[in-house]
Amino acid sequence: MDAKNLFMTRNTYWLVRAEYGLGLLVAVGLFFRHLGQIQWPAAIGLFLYIDLIGYIPGAIAYHRSKTKQLSKAYYVLYNLMHSMVTQGLVALAWTWLWGAQWTLLVLVIHLFGDRALFGNFIKPFGLHFEPQADPAYRRFSSEFAAASHQGHPVGPLSTTSSS
């Protein structure tokens, strides 16, 4: 993915997930290293509230829906709660109110776990709430893969003429 091609190939997707996986391992290692300093009720609450607000309402609505068309509000809730910006602000507010605590690692563990283990990132409005390959993406992916196997990018290589 780059600034002009907002998609990932299968390989870049796995590399990004591997990066989050390493971050997850570091966060889990630090969490267990400081296990005696974890405030368990807060840790459980901070870990769960992300999905209680951001995922579960949308998942229930999706599975109950005959059309699978959901209000954008479910996507906004998911994206807001699964944003590192949001959870970073939660951690900053927590630190300001109660001081820095190892307990806050559960926020990183939740987000990095979602990305590394489940491959879940921010949800675009145009896709199903639950992961499902879009027909347009399947066509594009197939065309892109075929062009890549032929050793050239999709589309013209250059729009400039050589002298």
User: Maximum Cα–Cα distance for the chain, whole Å?
Assistant: 70
Residue 161's pLDDT is what? 43
Mean pLDDT of 121-134: 93
Distance CA 50, CA 27 (A): 17
pLDDT tens for 22-44 read 999 999 999 999 999 999 999 99
pLDDT above 80 (res 162): no
pLDDT tens for 52-81 read 999 999 999 999 999 999 999 999 999 999
Report which residue type is found at 90.
Answer: V
- pTM of the predicted model, to two decimals? 0.87
Report which residue type is found at 76.
Answer: V
**3-state SS class at 130:** coil
pLDDT above 80 (res 157): no
- Contact, 94 vs 45, CB < 8 A? no
Closest CA relative to residue 116, chosen from 18, 37, 9: 18
- Contact, 30 vs 106, CB < 8 A? no
- Contact, 83 vs 146, CB < 8 A? no
Assigned token pair, 68: 């699978």
